[in-house]
Amino acid sequence: MTCFPGPGRPALIVFVKEPRPGRVKTRLAGDIGRVEAAWWLRHRLSFLLRRVGRDPRWRTLLCVAPDAAAGGRAFPPEFPHMAQGGGDLGARMRRALTAPPPGPVVLIGADIPAIRAYHIARAFALLGPREAVFGPATDGGYWLIGLRRGARPLPAGALAGVRWSSAHALADSRASLAPLSIGQADTLRDVDTAADLAPG
């Protein structure tokens, strides 16, 4: 059973697929190979959790796919696991963002090489004056989304109708959260193709 942080305590959710060859990072796999892409994701997740997962300022949870991988051996047992469930990416992200008890929540992927704990801390700080926060990616998408989860409910169409994996993903997602007040965190690069692995 998932063990959520207590009410009011910030929650960091890492949204990740089980790193199996052929099922993860398909665009990257097309460039470097399926086994290599799965290996990259596995080691990137381990590095990410060492870098930001144990920070005492928040509790880290893993939101995993497929659902059968929740609680399995593919992920470190010290971090609570929850299943992503069905639906498109927007539906699964919305479910993850609303699952923990009341309090600020931030969701990230596992494929952001430059991420540091201070990036997460800044995003949570923005959720003081703002109701939502996005961390833009350099390709028009985003690497982070967060919600303060205060008195105003999440809009009914939150994260619906988003043109995922496109340059419109951030703009569409922001529009879907209207009329919530939105802050902007740091811009970072995520990894979709081999070109994204280059430093800089």
User: Looking at residue 174, what is its pLDDT?
Assistant: 97
Phi-psi region of 140 (alpha: psi -120 to 50; beta: other; left: phi over 0): left
pTM of the predicted protein model: 0.90
Per-residue pLDDT of 39-71, as tens digits, reads 888 888 999 999 999 999 999 999 999 898 887
Residue 10 pLDDT: 95
Q: Domain 11-197 adopts which CATH fold?
A: Spore Coat Polysaccharide Biosynthesis Protein SpsA; Chain A (3.90.550)
Write the single-letter amino acid at 96: A
Which amino acid type is present at position 103? G
Nearest to 108 by CA among 56, 52, 148: 52
Token pair of 171, please? Answer: 């703009």
pLDDT given for residue 3 in this prediction: 45
**Domain range list for the chain:** 11-197
Spell out, as residue ranges, where the chain has pLDDT lower than 50.
1-6, 200
CB 131 within 8 A of CB 181: yes
Please tell me the predicted confidence (pLDDT) of residue 120.
Answer: 97
Cis upstream peptide for 179 (omega within 30°)? yes
For residue 142, the model assigns a pLDDT of: 96
Amino acid at 200: G
At residue 133, the 3 state secondary structure works out as: strand
